[in-house]
Amino acid sequence: MEAAPLPRSRSRLGPLLFLARKSLLGSRFTFALLVLSVAAGAGFQIPNTANLAGFSEALLEEELRHGGGDVRVEPREKRHFEDGAAAAARVSEALGASVRAAVPVLVLPGAVGKGGRFQNALVYGYDFPGEPALRPFHLTSGALPAPGDANGVLLGTSLANRLGVKVGDAVDLRIILGGPPGGAGEAVGGPPGGAGEAVGATVMTVRGLVSGSAGAYRSAFLDRASLAEKTGARAAASAIHVHLDDHFAASDLAPRLEARLPEARAVGWKEDDPYVTNYLAANRTINAVSYAMVVAAISIPVWALFHIHVLGRRREIGILAALGFSRREIFGLFLLQTLVVALAGLSAGAALGYGMLLYFDAYPIFSWEALVVRPVVTAAVLAGPCLAVLATTLLAGSVPAWRAARTDPARVLRRID
Amino acid sequence: MPKVLRCESLVRRLGAHDVVRGASLDLDEAEAVALVGPSGCGKTTLLQMIGLLDRPSAGRVVLAGHDAWSLDDAVRAEVRLAWIGFVFQQNNLVEALSARENVALPAWRLGSSRREAERAADALLERFGLAARRDAPASELSVGEAQRVAIARALVNRPRLVLADEPTGSLDSASADVVMEALAAASALGAALLVVTHDLRIAARAGRTVEMRDGRL
Ligand SMILES: Nc1ncnc2c1ncn2[C@@H]1O[C@H](COP(=O)(O)OP(=O)(O)OP(=O)(O)O)[C@@H](O)[C@H]1O
Ligand SMILES: [Mg+2]
């Protein structure tokens, strides 16, 4: 007996798409619920991820760019670098191209007073005007002191509020210069003529008010040379703040810097500032937990609703099998429906998410001093939630689709339902 | 003349019970065979094994010279699509589709364009007196209309073998006659026809009647 050639045709998308559309439209309510659950997942995860990315970004920006820099370099033995600018130049040279700026500062403990009432303050000697993007403060009113301005001071807003001073007012500035008396300033509390704390006392004029969450709000900033003069070393700096292009290179660069400059101690922000490190880690954890919630919140209803959808179509599946649709095509038919749900849900969710992003941009989730957290809307940030939602929906939907493909047509067709 | 169908000692065990126990049957081109037998004797089970929907526990189904159950799933699906037309007792149609879409679907899937498939469907529906109902959703057709649509769908790819499982089981005798006319048309197109029926009148119309009893022919 001669065998006839076996029939051969290619699987075609057209009939499957048609059947998928009819199948979904035949279960509009289920379809709507499916789209809703995917949309809710995407709509919440998009602003969540964007806000948390905004939080991390704002924190790094404020704490490092407008704070102590990425690496803090201090003298290992001595109290100060005698020549801050020269030390900063040595640091720059030692680190090479990865350094954006090396800024010498002279930070001393002190107090600011008005009418006999004093408030604790860090006193910063800074080389005005400095690079605006890397200043350890944000000028909120008034003007920067000119370089060499020996009488001008910038006051943190919180300090100014507590003292009730404004731009143009005079304030008493007390600075603990440290070490044995020798420079300008009067000795107090020590044995006469012996070693004791030297305190500089000056009347200064408030040139401007500054904010900044890294500490500026309760600090005073004045010309570094004028402050240094009070310590007896005209060019002194207590530290060099090193700004890098890449924050996350700090931990690697700090030890390399110490190897090149044995007289200096270099600490990266991760080691120096566990607050920021912990905050970033917390953000990552919250984001991961939020992702997990979204995965659960999408996969459970998608799985359950598609499961019910498939159960309700067992006879139809049997008929399609009898007509000549292969298991692979039946799997594809239900996976296509999942894909339609995923894309429709993602579109609706992206619209919802966009609305939430607009809202959070107008009403930031965190706003204090210059630390204002706005959602970061970049392709990289948005890709995460979108891909997670897409993958979750497809994976959750593929389980019932696989069950549909495993339906035994003989069993379901034997009954007359 | 090549045999369209040859069943060799088909056995189907369901649970602990052999529902079909050694059924052998040959069908030639354009031959019509009626399969009769008491309820529960295994007729539907046999038809599903022949139609490549239910794997036999033993024995072979040879379709146009091919041991059909040794083919892989995708090829078996192709064989169902191109060579076999199925008609069940009831609820044959995909409810979400119209009469015409139901009939056109296998042709579209086999390779025709959608338009060609719909044209072929329209021709068959017209032949079975359903031209006016072609856009009706399957769920709104009467049982007799739906059976005729199912037969049209079974014929649209010009199959070698039509398997009908009590196609008139739930119809009155007038509608049953219309459906049987339609099946006779299938034979006239050259297909081999195997029809399960309780109705001796219908059995008499077939060229050959095979009786099944306790899983044996
Ligand atoms: N899953 C199963 N397990 C065990 N026995 C089964 C199973 N499914 C069907 N059967 C039995 O197999 C036998 C044959 O069933 P089948 O549907 O083939 O009979 P039939 O001849 O088509 O009957 P009818 O004329 O009533 O349609 C019946 O006795 C039925 O009870
Ligand atoms: Mg039966």
Atom of ligand 1 nearest to the CA of B41: 21
- Tell me phi and psi for residue B165, to 5 degrees: -105, 100
**DSSP 8-state code for residue A62:** I
Tens digits of residue pLDDT in A291-324: 999 999 999 999 999 999 999 999 999 999 999 9
pLDDT at A36 over 70: yes
The predicted pLDDT at position A2 comes to 67
* Distance (Å, whole) CA A128 – CA A145: 7
pLDDT at A370 over 90: no
Shortest distance between the Cα of B201 and any Cα of chain A, in A, equals 23
Shortest distance between the Cα of B137 and any Cα of chain A, in A, equals 12
* Distance (Å, whole) CA A171 – CA A153: 9
Contact B74 A328 (CB under 8 A): yes
Residue environment code for A71-110, b if the CB has 16+ CB neighbours within 10 A, otherwise e: bbbbbeeeebbebbbebbebbbebbeeebbbbbbbbbbeb
Tens digits of residue pLDDT in A102-143: 999 999 999 999 999 999 999 999 999 999 999 999 999 999
Instruction: Tell me if B191 sits within 8 A of B161, measured CB to CB.
Output: yes
Q: Chain B: which residues have CB within 8 Å of chain A?
A: 2-3, 44-45, 48, 51, 53-54, 64-66, 71, 73-84, 86, 88-97, 101, 105-106, 108-111, 114, 153, 160
The pLDDT of B183-205, averaged and rounded, is: 82
The predicted pLDDT at position A416 comes to 58
Q: Chain A: which residues have CB within 8 Å of chain B?
A: 1-4, 6-10, 12, 14-15, 18-19, 22-23, 25-26, 315-316, 318-329, 408-410, 413-414, 416-417
Residue environment code for A307-319, b if the CB has 16+ CB neighbours within 10 A, otherwise e: bebbeebbbbbbb
**What does the mean pLDDT of chain A come to?**
90
Q: How would you classify residue B40: left for phi > 0, otherwise alpha for psi between -120 and 50, otherwise beta?
A: left
- Tell me phi and psi for residue B214, to 5 degrees: 50, 40
Those residues with Cβ within 8 angstroms of residue B39's Cβ, 6 or more apart along the chain or in another chain? B198
pLDDT at B165 over 70: yes
The predicted pLDDT at position A184 comes to 42
* Distance (Å, whole) CA A66 – CA B87: 79
Atom of ligand 1 nearest to the CA of A414: 17
> H helices of chain B, where?
43-50, 73-83, 99-110, 114-127, 143-155, 173-188, 200-205
The predicted pLDDT at position A48 comes to 94
Q: For residue A415, how far is its CA from the centre of ligand 2 (angstroms)? A: 9
With H, G, I as helix, E, B as strand and everything else as coil, classify residue A262. coil
Tens digits of residue pLDDT in B94-152: 999 999 999 999 999 998 899 999 999 999 999 888 899 999 999 999 888 898 899 89
Distances, alpha carbon A120 to alpha carbons A125, A370, B106, in Å: 16, 21, 86
Tens digits of residue pLDDT in A376-406: 999 988 899 999 999 999 999 999 999 999 9
Q: Residue A149 CB: number of other CB atoms within 10 A?
A: 17
Q: Which residues surround ligand 2, an ion (CB under 5 A)?
A: B 44
Shortest distance between the Cα of B33 and any Cα of chain A, in A, equals 21
Structural tokens at position B167:
């196609």
Q: To test ligand 1's pocket by mutation, which of B17, B19, B202, B214 has the most ligand atoms within 8 angstroms of CB?
A: B19
* Residue spans per domain, chain B: 5-211
Those residues with Cβ within 8 angstroms of residue B115's Cβ, 6 or more apart along the chain or in another chain? none
Band the pLDDT of A196: cuts 50, 70, 90. Answer: very low
The pLDDT of B45-65, averaged and rounded, is: 92
Task: Report the relative pairing of strands B161-165 and B84-87 from DSSP bridges.
Answer: parallel
Q: To test ligand 1's pocket by mutation, which of B43, B89, B216 has the most ligand atoms within 8 angstroms of CB?
A: B43
Most confident region among A68-77, A189-198, A365-374 by mean pLDDT: A68-77
pLDDT at B168 over 90: no
Tens digits of residue pLDDT in A220-229: 999 999 999 9
With H, G, I as helix, E, B as strand and everything else as coil, classify residue B211. strand
Of A69, A83, A88, nearest to A261 by C-alpha is: A88
Architecture per CATH, domain B5-211, reads as: 3-Layer(aba) Sandwich (3.40)
pLDDT at A181 over 60: no
**DSSP 8-state code for residue A126:** E
- SS3 track for A382-396: HHHHHHHHHHHHHHH
Shortest distance between the Cα of A249 and any Cα of chain B, in A, equals 56
Task: Report the relative pairing of strands A170-176 and A186-187 from DSSP bridges.
Answer: unpaired
CA B82 to chain centre: 13
Ligand 1 is surrounded, with C-beta below 6 A, by: A 414; B 14-15, 17, 19, 37, 39-45
* Distance (Å, whole) CA B9 – CA B56: 10
The pLDDT of B46-70, averaged and rounded, is: 91
